[in-house]
Structure 1
Amino acid sequence: MEIVGIVVVCVLAVAGANQLAPRVRIAAPLLLVGFGVAVSYLPGVPPISVDPEIILIGVLPPLLYAAAVALPAMDFKRDFQAISGLSIVLVVISALLLGLFFMWILPDADYATGVALGAILSPTDAVATTTVKRVGAPQRLVTVLSGESLFNDASALVVLRAAIAAMATSVSLFGVAVSFAWAVVAAVVVGAAVGWVFIVARARISNAAVATAVSFTAPYIAYVPAEVMGASGLVAAVAAGLVTGRGSVRRLTAAHRQSDQQTWRTVELLLEGGVFLLMGLELKALVTDVRDSHETVWHAVWPAAIAFVLLIVIRWAFVMTLVAGISRRARRVIAREPMLAEMQDKLGDPDAAADRMTRRFQRSIDRRLADIEYYRTESMGFREGYVVVWAGMRGVVTLAAAQTLPADTPYRSLLILVAFVVATGSLMIQGTTLGAFIKWMKLPDQREAAAQERRRLNREMASISYEVLADPSVCGTDGLLARSVEQVRELEASDDDEFEGDVLDRRLRNAVEMRRVRRVIIDRQRAELIDLRDRGAYSSESLTVALARLDAEEISLDAQGSR
């Protein structure tokens, strides 16, 4: 009964923090950490310590999988340079440079131990994405920060694994590089295969709730074989999520997608909030362990403060270099626009092309031109770079990874407390100021451009509706729309009960026909939206909203048809 009470309190705390956060304008994770710290020091509350394997294996795979499903694959490909640089290269550089610092300040620690702690402090947390969305920052920033938080957890844990191995035995730099490459490549292959198999299998399940229940196993089925092969299970879970997110629109029904979205959003909310709450609850146990090892909290605070500053400086230097490289690449890509436009004019309409290879080549040109428009409107300049720097908050993975250090590691309790101070300090300092910092940067306001884009997309969807309603093969020769209007007028003008009943009967039959036609419209509109997504003609945000609207209409039609 005691465990049940604890679980109930934790769930209510997570729900309450997320409800309160928008009102007080403080991130929910920060509220949960503070609540956990306060509870841990209440009289009678024993020190709380959680096995890190529960977080690394039980919590992180589904969390990363859920985030990957929601990440638009089109935007991910466009910003692959930025995402891969931040989530892999920056993690490795941060771990190596911080390793030198910790080796210098800790007399009994070797370089491998320092790199291990550097890897622990390197990954950022996805909590920044919520703040960035709330203040209306450009979608490209949201994509980059989301993609970084997806992959840098896995890359940091791979570096940590290599550093721990180096602490025990002699490991060559070449061996570490090969292990890192294998951990990423093999995991991507395994995760992509699992994601594809699950999409195909779940498409054959008619019950949406059952299909969603099956999806709960996907991140673990991707995680386990990857770990057995010596690869990164977290990268495999992310790859499975990306494949699932891209394939669900084509293969799953609207009811399946809505069930997945609502259920996984709840799971993500509870898991992420619960882990931040545990971070706060563990503080008392960490402080006790440090005191038992004849050290003081101050011995953890000042190294953590310096490490926090170093992380900001390293991130600033890397991001500014990365932004300059992205800008140069964007200019080169934009310079090809006249040539691509000329080729497009010569080839004509891709849908009218008879040859399959010609159509594929034309669509490739369309995608490239859409990418050019994306790079022109969604710029990534130095102001955006400063936001990326300040949004690099540390979180739950830092503390969970710190607790995986071997028991015989020098200064183990102190290192774990350093990780806790850095994580909570970054949440407090950066988390409470990120919204104001984004506004201070005065990023370009793209709301009007986004509204215009949505209006253009709505007009395209409306034209498809008119084409279907005017199509004799779908609506008959006299036009379904005209028949519907005429019958409604007859019903309004009639005073005769018998005639009214006859009109109502015809109207009922016509309602069934209208639902059938509306399904045809939805199918054609969804096919067009998928084609526009593949060509990159519109932003992922506009396409996602339009697809969600179609899903809602389809579910409404299903409900009407069942009555």
Structure 2
Amino acid sequence: MDILNLVFLLTLTVGASRILANIIPLPLPILQILLGSLLALPPFGMEIELDPEIFMMLFIPPLLFYDGWKIPKKEFTEHGGQIAAMSLLLVLITVAAVGYFIHWLIPSIPLAASFALAAILSPTDALSVIAIAQGRLPRHMSHQLEGEAMMNDATGLVSFKIAMAAVITGSFSLVSVSGEFLVVALGGLLIGGALSWTVGKIKQWMTARDLYDPATYVVTILLLPFAAFFLAEHAGMSGILSAVAAGMVQSRVDMLPVKTSTRILNRSIWEMLDFSFNGLVFLLLGLQFPGIVERVWEASATQSYDMGTLVVYALVIMALLLMIRFAFIYAYHWSETRLLKRRAKGGQSQPLLLTTALSSVAGVRGAITLAGILSVPLFIDGTPFPGRDLMIFLSAAVIILSLLIGALGIPYFLRYLSLNDLDEHERELLKARQSASQAAVSWLEEWLKAQSNEDIESKGSVTARIIDSYRQEMQAMAMEREDRANEAVQRYVLETNLRMQAIQVQRKELYRLRKRRHIDEQMLQTLIRELDYEEAALQ
């Protein structure tokens, strides 16, 4: 099929899947896999086999970059202990336990390849969980899942690449792998962070000299994750962690008080790309799934398993993943609660078994797992990669099972969970909005006092209207687009300018609140977004 027609059809299908998800009661990723499988069948008959290296380079960097960009930094710091434990220790336990289990269960998959499969099954997908929960997860759990998903995406993929290297080279040493992991991880973080910081400094330099162009900058940011990934890989470091670090640093640069048009353009493009790339990954799996099933079916004739046995294997692997996750989370929270009680700082506010069960079923696998497993090479030195189709089949089955478990389990456990922290979050947002509006009102009053007496009468009515709109928390009054006298036009221009300057004051107040830690990073982003759209409407 012509490449342009293929891109057009896939993009159209991704958009249509979002609409269908509002009608068909299925998780969006499962629906996209089904649509992809449908396109692979007659009469469409679409066939596509991307080069694994191209697939890795095309999908992994932007997805991980955006993960790093949107992670709430305050919660990432506050829950750093749990996030680190879940994304490092839990991943390593999963790789070791599940890897050995898969090799024991299916000896035709080599041990190193079994470790690679276990590693790529380790990352969780916070985007799918949030979509399933529809914003009803407790805030602290939602943030922990986002932080865990971002970090174990990186650690899982790094472990996957090391295991894949062991398959290709035929050598494996736990000691050397551990040392290599630390070196390539640290190197990747430094390269990605340094590159992103340099881009931010260049932006500041250009802004100071009126050389700054929002469109050019946004194009640069679109290329940044690929550049970070390529440079780190070329240097022998982790391109995966490099992309994550670039996103985390760039999110700080994006919050700097620069042109509003840049933030709006940047944010809109990345939200669109994140949705599109996630959808394309699931569609591409669906397109290849019928062929994979057919090849696995044919291979099963010469093996000791059939298709029904493979489905049972997938169920057993999923059960093992759930048990390991449940045991780890329970042990972590139990230890944390005991430690806090000893320090007289309070303990678990929610029932331990309930929160552990909810966190366990929320360990949904998604786009990163798919992108990683589809990047498995087709051949090693001219011979087919051992068990590639089988690995992809098991990964797809585990992803689908985890989505179904999440779709059923998350709403069930949420019914028994107290969600008081959501109300508290809304109160904090309201308090921050009031503080920003009050800062704007105070500035307008001071500005009016500084005007000369002859200007007070003409400018006072305009200022009073703006102050009244802020105090009543109403939207700015629209100005009719009719020919008016010069005085009315001047008042309109004055009102617009004052509103623009008042918005700048609100932004400064929000930055001050964040600096003093009265609000968190996510609240700052939400409130800055509201002000950006308000300013864009005025422009």
* TM-score between the two structures when normalised by the length of structure 1: 0.81
User: For each residue in 1:20-57, what CA deviation from the matched residue of structure 2 results, as whole angstroms up to 9, or x when unmatched?
Assistant: 32343432211111112233233572654332223321
Alignment partners' CA distance in 1, 2:351 and 2:506: 32
Counterpart residue identity of residue 308, structure 2 = W
After TM superposition, the structure 1 stretch with the greater mean CA deviation from structure 2, 190-199 or 435-444, is 435-444
1:220·1:237 contact (CA, 8 Å) conserved in 2? yes
3-state SS, counterpart of residue 250 of structure 1 = coil
- Correspondent of 2:290 among 284, 288, 291: 284
The verdict on how the C-alpha distance between 1:46 and 1:513 changes in structure 2, with shifts beyond 3 A counting, is closer
Per-residue deviation, 1:315: 0.7
Overall identity of the aligned pairs, in %: 26
Corresponding residue of 1:6: 6
SS in 2 for 1:206: coil
Displacement after TM superposition at 1:159 (Å): 1.4
**C-alpha displacement at 1:528, in angstroms?**
2.1
Q: What one-letter code is carried by the residue in structure 1 that aligns with 2:287?
A: L
> 2: CA distance between counterparts of 1:210 and 1:10?
27
Show the counterpart of 2:198.
197
| Cα distance between partner residues in 2 of 1:479 and 1:195 | 51
Q: CA deviation at 1:530?
A: 1.6
- What do the CA deviations read for 1:284-335 (whole angstroms, capped 9, x no partner)? 2212322443344234222211111100001111111222344456668884
1:3 shift after superposition: 3.0
- Map residues 34-433 of structure 1 onto 2, 5 A cutoff: 34-42=34-42, 45=45, 48-131=48-131, 134-167=134-167, 168-203=169-204, 204=206, 206-293=212-299, 294-295=302-303, 296-327=306-337, 335=345, 382-403=353-374, 404=376, 406=380, 407=383, 409-427=385-403, 429-433=404-408
Distance 2:185 2:97 in 1: 22
Deviations along 1:73-92, one digit per CA (max 9) or x if unpaired, are: 22222222222222222111
8 Å CA contact retained: 1:47, 1:284: no
SS in 1 for 2:420: coil
Looking at structure 2, the residues matched to 219 and 318 of structure 1 have their Cα atoms a distance apart, in angstroms, of 33
Q: Find the counterpart in structure 2 of residue 544 from structure 1.
A: 525
Match 1:439 to one of 402, 414, 432: 414
Aligned length: 506
- Aligned mates of 1:378, 1:55 — CA distance in 2: 44
CA contact (8 A) 2:139 2:421 kept: no
Match of 2:509 in 1: 528
Tell whether the 8 Å contact from 2:281 to 2:370 is kept in structure 1 after alignment. Answer: no
* Structure 2 CA distance for aligned equivalents of residues 112 and 415 of structure 1: 12
**Structure 1 residues 121, 545: CA separation in 2 closer, same or farther (over 3 Å shift)?**
closer
CA displacement, residues 76-132 of structure 1 (integer Å, 9 cap, x when unaligned): 222222222222221111010012212222335553333222112222223434325
Q: Using the TM superposition, give the Cα deviation of residue 482 of structure 1 relative to its aligned residue in structure 2, in angstroms.
A: 6.4
Q: Counterpart amino acid of 1:177?
A: S
Are residue 455 (structure 1) and residue 465 (structure 2) matched?
no
**C-alpha distance in 1, partners of 2:50/2:435?**
53
| Unmatched runs of 5 consecutive residues or more in structure 2 | 465-483
Partner in structure 2 of residue 470 of structure 1 = 445
AA of the residue aligned to 2:254: S
Tell me, yes or no, if the aligned pair for 1:133 and 1:142 is still in contact at 8 Å: no
Contact 1:138 1:378 in 2 (8 A): no
Which residue type is aligned with residue 542 of structure 1? Answer: M
The amino acid across from 1:383 in the alignment is L
Counterpart contact for 2:69–2:251, Cα < 8 Å: yes
Q: 1:464-499: CA deviations, max 9, x gaps?
A: 12221222598525598864454799xxxxxxxxxx
Alignment CA distance shift 1:135-1:66 (3 Å): closer
Q: Does structure 2 conserve the Cα–Cα contact (< 8 Å) formed by 1:135 and 1:435? A: no
Would the alpha carbon gap of residues 2 and 108 (structure 1) be closer, same or farther in structure 2, given more than 3 Å must change? closer
Q: What's the offset of the Cα at 1:505?
A: 3.0
Gap change, CA 1:172 and 1:527, over 3 Å in 2: same
Distance 1:247 1:328 in 2: 40
Deviation at 1:16, TM superposition (A): 1.2
Offset from partner CA, 1:419-472 (integer Å, 9 cap, x none): 222122222x22431442343342323343233223322221132122212225
Deviation at residue 255 of structure 1 after TM alignment: 0.8
Report the alpha carbon displacement of residue 149 of structure 1 after superposing the two structures with TM: 2.0
Question: What is the TM-score of this pair, normalised by structure 2?
Answer: 0.85
Deviations 1:241-273 (A, max 9, x none): 111112212153211000001111111121111
State the alpha-carbon separation in 2 of the partners of residues 133 and 533 from structure 1. 28
Corresponding letter in the other structure for 1:509 = Q
Q: Which residue of 1 aligns with 2:19?
A: 19
Tell whether the 8 Å contact from 1:69 to 1:242 is kept in structure 2 after alignment: yes
> Higher mean Cα deviation, 414-423 or 275-284?
414-423
Shift of the alpha carbon at 1:381?
5.3
Distance 2:138 2:453 in 1: 48
CA 1:480–1:64 in 2, change beyond 3 Å: closer, same or farther?
Answer: farther
Rate the CA distance shift 1:113–1:487 in 2: closer, same or farther, 3 A.
Answer: closer
SS state of the match for residue 470, structure 1? helix
- Does the 8 A contact of 1:327 with 1:380 survive in 2? no
SS at match of 1:393: coil
Instruction: Measure the CA separation in 2 of the matches of 1:165 and 1:4.
Output: 34
**Does the 8 A contact of 2:60 with 2:371 survive in 1?**
no
SS in structure 2 of the partner of residue 230 of structure 1: coil
Select the structure that is richer in helix: 1
User: Which residue pairs with 1:344 in the alignment?
Assistant: none
Amino acid paired to 2:512 = D
Q: Against the structure 1 CA distance between its residues 194 and 475, is the aligned structure 2 distance closer, same or farther, given a 3 Å change threshold?
A: farther
